[in-house]
Amino acid sequence: MKNSLILLPLLLILAIVIFSILMSQAISKETENTIINKNSFVEERIDDTWTIEKGMVDASELLISINGKIIHGDRMHYRLMDDCETINVLTQFSTMKKNPKTERISQLYISAKYIDEDIQVIVPFVNKMPWKEIADVDLEMWVFWVDLGWYTIDKIKEYHKNIDEITLSIKHDALFKADNYLDNKSNSWSTNGMNEAIDRAVNICKFRTPENSEEVLKS
């Protein structure tokens, strides 16, 4: 009887310890899920509106983009860098024009017109769309990636102030015989929601950066 009385408190303590461990694990799991949900920043695409989507390099990359007006699938992309202040501007030109030299294009400088400004941009690479693997369709399509450079957020916002539409045209000249490669050399994109999407991405970026997270939470 005495031994039983001694065992009761021990069993109670053991039960409390086990319960505490299980509760701790459950809370930890719930917290982990909450963090994952908070980091799920991908927005639903809306035509002619800038939104945040999955990154091009990895899922954690902050990418802001919008569909093209002439070629819908050729989007304009803003890649927000880890400093939360710099954006790499990219777009693409899809083509079905056959040219044996297309697949060899790499780090090619070409002439273009951005809105009203004559510029030079770079085609870092060209990739073939895997339609055969994706949809079992025997369709040959190439995507020319166009890198327009790296700019601060303030410069991008100031440059596009009072501009409703971005236009980009690839020139056919000595640098690049565009007519021999591209079905379409021009596209345009709305600026609708651009600044707001940039601001949302910057807030996410700062929240994920330890030195800035405390400041963001206070704001």
Residue range 189-217, pLDDT digits in tens: 999 999 999 999 999 999 886 655 445 44
**3-class state of residue 146 by DSSP:** strand
Query: Given this model, what pLDDT does residue 58 score?
Result: 77
Whether the Cβ atoms of residue 65 and residue 76 lie closer than 8 Å to each other: yes
pLDDT, averaged across the chain: 83
Task: Return the minimum-mean-pLDDT range out of 28-42, 103-117, 135-149.
Answer: 28-42
Query: Given this model, what pLDDT does residue 60 score?
Result: 77
- Whole-angstrom distance, CA of residue 98 vs CA of residue 102: 8
Q: Percent of the chain beyond pLDDT 90?
A: 66
**pTM of the predicted structure, to 2 decimals:** 0.77
Query: Given this model, what pLDDT does residue 32 score?
Result: 39
Query: Structure tokens of 80?
Result: 């927000």
The residues pairing with 76 across neighbouring beta strands, listed in sequence order, are 66, 91
Residue 143 φ/ψ, nearest 5 degrees: -115, 115
How many CB atoms neighbour CB 54 within 10 A? 13
pLDDT at 100 over 70: yes
Residue 105 φ/ψ, nearest 5 degrees: -70, 130
Query: Given this model, what pLDDT does residue 2 score?
Result: 45
The residues pairing with 63 across neighbouring beta strands, listed in sequence order, are 53, 79
Residue range 133-152, pLDDT digits in tens: 766 777 889 999 999 999 99
Query: Given this model, what pLDDT does residue 215 score?
Result: 52
Residue range 44-92, pLDDT digits in tens: 999 999 999 988 877 778 999 999 999 999 999 999 999 999 999 999 9
